[in-house]
Copies of this chain bind each other. A is one copy, B any other.
Amino acid sequence: MTDRDFALDPRLQNDTRHVASLALCEVLLMDDTRFPWLVLVPRRAGMSEICDLSPDEQALLWREVTLASQALRALAPFDKLNLGALGNIVRQLHVHVVGRREGDAAWPSPVWGSGSASRYDEQARAALLERLRAALDASGP
């Protein structure tokens, strides 16, 4: 389910690393050690709102959000899941899946717009990406 005109927004490209391609979405890891944080981007060009997707695609999006949440939880226990679809700055349709821990760098405020990212070092990032891919496979259909 890929739109041939789909291209990832340059800002998302810059801020994240690619984890996996699900049926509808690209799964990206936010390159920020402060929060366990995935971003799901449906591979559909020119969409900015969830209601731009067909009802079937919307259902698939939420299933993939659940899958990503489970993978994140398997890796890094958290106290509260934060889901958000904002797009005030990056208009390309994307959904944030963030594991929040009491006392984390933004707690209890939202992560969006909170301070500056602290990037993973290369080794830690590679290990995390591998574990995320395994967790997504394990919790997949």
Contact partners of A43 in chain B: CB under 8 A: none
Q: Could you say which interface size class chain A belongs to?
A: 20 to 34
Verify if A12 is at the interface (C-beta below 8 Å from B): no
Most chain B beta-carbon contacts within 10 A, residue among A70, A86, A107: A86
Q: Which of B59, B69, B85, B88 has a CB less than 8 Å from the CB of A83?
A: B85
B48 touches A70 (CB 8 A): no
Q: Which of B66, B69, B80 has a CB less than 8 Å from the CB of A86?
A: B80
B84 touches A84 (CB 8 A): yes
Q: Which A residues form the contact surface with B (CB < 8 A)?
A: 48-51, 58-59, 62, 66, 69-70, 80-89, 91, 100, 107-110, 112-113
